[in-house]
Amino acid sequence: MTLASTIPQAALPSPSTAVWQLGPLPLRAYALCIIAGIVVACVVTERRLRQRGVAPGAVLDIAVWAVPTGIIGARIYHVITSPEKYFGAGGEPLKAFAIWEGGLGIWGAVAGGALGAWFAARQLGIPFTVVADALAPGLPLAQAVGRLGNWFNNELYGGLTTLPWGLRVHDMDPSNPGHAKTIDGEPVLLPGLYHPTFLYEALWNVGVAALVLFLDRKLRLGKGRAFALYVMGYTAGRFWIELMRTDEATHILGVRLNVFTAALVFVGALIYFLRVRGPREYLVPIGGPASAPAATGGDVSQVDLSQRGAGAQATAPEGYRVVSEEQFRAYRDTGVAPDAAVVDDDMPGPGGPAPAVDDDTPGPGATGDDAPDDREAGEVPAGEVPAGDVPAGDERAGTTGPRATDRES
């Protein structure tokens, strides 16, 4: 061990403190990074959901379920795959609940979060594949932000290196979590410099997010294929980064368990990506629009503020119906939902996607100003179903979801 003052400056530094006291409340860097990552994922996912026709704020309804189940799943995976620290000789079982000290497995986080997101999507009447594809670029960005928590905790680094971006690593004090050991008031560093594998993964994840955004825009991915692309990109990077890590881990045949996990998950995602086909899914609301369309263009004095106020109070739709891109564009422009029979007949097959919709333009659920509406109050155009009246035999997207009469208030 060496003192911090004796280490050359040509290296990446590490914090010697990962927790600060705000009165009686401890502020832990690891937790703050996770929260920041969740916010990033929610912002990206909200934007992409609204571009596909989902009502504003739906991502919060999904996050209420996905975030807790994701954290629980991440911790369970970590504890199961690294049991010695908690249940081995000299282990502390209660430490299994100390998530602020680090130890969240991404595989468990994705599995647990997917379960929570599926349940929330079912309640909202949104196809789960729409949610997954909307989340695809936001999740790796969230992971990149969360990896900064490992930097504060001085953990998840690789072997010794002489590279100019080698990392200084503090010898953290287990009796004072979140703080480095000190000698004469100076934080103690481990000898040498180390590969910042957490940083490698963070940068890789940013690249995966960019790849998903690019290919999703170019190929119009749907049916969960954008999420499968994210999984392939992440696991490809995790495979080689995992081989560089030197922290404690469960080994099989001398290889870290997560190396096998990354390879198996990559193969599964690749099979899904190659086998599943279909156009990108867009949604129109059932049981009334997510937000009433308002007139656009012209002089602001011509806008009926009383009607806009009434539209702002519109409740969330009972569910959604999957439509083609062409039908969604028409709905976005006119505010008139296509008939269910037309939707069933006109949905394009895998070989014939409809004309593209500009992803930079939010759908009808984004704001109240997306589509013109010159109708008088109470007037219902021909062919349009009044809010709350669902045609007989019509079903929302996702036939397994609960009907309006079954949903909890």
In the predicted model, is pLDDT for residue 147 greater than 70?
A: yes
Of residues 292 and 190, the one with the higher pLDDT is 190
Dihedral of CA 294/298/300/302: which sign? negative
Dihedral of CA 18/20/26/32: which sign? negative
Position 97 scores a pLDDT of 85
Over residues 293-303, the pLDDT tens digits come to: 443 443 333 33
In this structure, of 28-32, 43-47, 217-221, 294-298, the range with the lowest mean pLDDT score is 294-298
Residue range 169-177: mean pLDDT, rounded: 92
Lookup result for tokens 């199961």: 80
In the predicted model, is pLDDT for residue 401 greater than 70?
A: no
The Cα–Cα gap between 123 and 315 comes to 15
Residue range 296-318: mean pLDDT, rounded: 47
Lookup result for tokens 């279909």: 278
Element (H, E) at 26: strand 25-28
Cα distances from 137 to residues 33, 48, 238, 251, 394, in angstroms, run: 18, 10, 16, 31, 33
Position 210 scores a pLDDT of 98
Q: Which tokens in the block code for residue 118?
A: 């599926």
Averaged pLDDT score across all residues of the chain: 80
Position 376 scores a pLDDT of 44
DSSP 3-state assignment of 373?
coil
% pLDDT > 70, the chain:
73
Residue range 51-68: mean pLDDT, rounded: 95
Confidence of residue 96 (pLDDT cuts 50, 70, 90): confident
Model pTM? 0.75
The Cα–Cα gap between 286 and 275 comes to 31
The Cα–Cα gap between 92 and 88 comes to 8
In this structure, of 212-221, 267-276, 282-291, 316-325, the range with the lowest mean pLDDT score is 282-291
In the predicted model, is pLDDT for residue 126 greater than 70?
A: yes
Confidence of residue 67 (pLDDT cuts 50, 70, 90): very high
Of residues 344 and 240, the one with the higher pLDDT is 240
Of 25, 23, 22, 21, the closest CA to residue 179 belongs to 21
Element (H, E) at 19: strand 19-22
Lookup result for tokens 């006109």: 346
Of residues 409 and 133, the one with the higher pLDDT is 133
Q: Where are the beta strands (DSSP E) in 190-298?
A: 251-252, 255-256, 282-286
Lookup result for tokens 């916010």: 39
Largest separation between any pair of C-alpha atoms in the chain: 83
Of residues 113 and 84, the one with the higher pLDDT is 113
The residue extents of the domains of the chain are: 2-275, 284-301+310-404
